[in-house]
Amino acid sequence: MSVDAMATEGGAPRTLVAFDGYAAQDLVLSPDGRTLLLTSNRSADWDIWSVPVAGGDLTPFATSPTFDGEPQWSPDGSQVSFTSGRSGGTADIWVMPAG
């Protein structure tokens, strides 16, 4: 599985992230179109990862020993809300700075 990007003008798609043996879901693009957040189990737990659309490495954004997922950008792109089980018990909604 991979996440690919293609310019609105067309052309060949470019792979942003390749997932060999891992899954990805909840892909959300930042309001400025520069950063993609996604939920993946590539670290054995479901965590939120970030990748620049212009190219670069996939980096951890929100991680915990429990589920972190379902990211959503604030309209101005300054914050991200997500669901997490990090407080124990039920899942809660967390908000953190985007940068």
pLDDT of residue 63: 92
Note the pLDDT of residue 27. Answer: 92
DSSP labels, 45-86? S-EEEEEETTS---EEEE--SS-EEEEEE-TTSSEEEEEE-T
pLDDT tens for the 99 residues of the chain, in order: 778 887 778 788 888 888 788 888 899 999 999 999 999 998 888 999 999 988 888 899 999 988 999 999 999 999 999 999 888 878 899 999 998
The reported pLDDT for the residue numbered 43 is: 84
**Could you tell me which of 30, 21, 9 has the C-alpha nearest to residue 74?**
30
pTM of the model: 0.86
Neighbouring-strand partners of residue 35: 52
pLDDT at 56: 84
d(CA 95, CA 26): 16
The confidence score (pLDDT) of residue 16 equals: 80
